[in-house]
């Protein structure tokens, strides 16, 4: 026996599950995406350190090229 649809009238833009069903996303996938994003930002930050130091040293010497 299938689920019966609600017979109520919903306003435009209603976000209930019967009007706008949301795809079920696995929590492990969300945690993996969040962890991967954090790891990429950490790696990008670590790779930027030598460039920041080189820029600071060049600015201290007055060589702004």
Q: What would the pLDDT profile of 53-64 be if each residue is shown by its tens digit?
A: 998 988 887 765
If you average pLDDT over residues 28-53, what whole number do you get? 94
| 46 — pLDDT class (breaks 50, 70, 90) | very high
Determine the pLDDT at residue 21. 67
Return the ∠ at Cα 14 (arms to 11 and 17), rounded to 5°.
130
Report the alpha-carbon distance of residue 43 to residue 63 in Å, rounded.
Answer: 28
Whether the pLDDT of residue 1 is over 50: the answer is: no
């Amino acid at each position: 026996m299938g689920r019966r649809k609600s017979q109520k009238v919903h306003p435009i833009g209603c976000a209930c599950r019967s009007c706008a069903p949301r795809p079920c996303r696995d929590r492990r996938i969300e945690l993996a995406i969040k962890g991967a994003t954090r790891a990429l930002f950490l790696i990008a930050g670590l790779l930027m350190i030598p460039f920041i130091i080189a820029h600071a040293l060049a600015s201290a010497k007055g060589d702004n090229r």
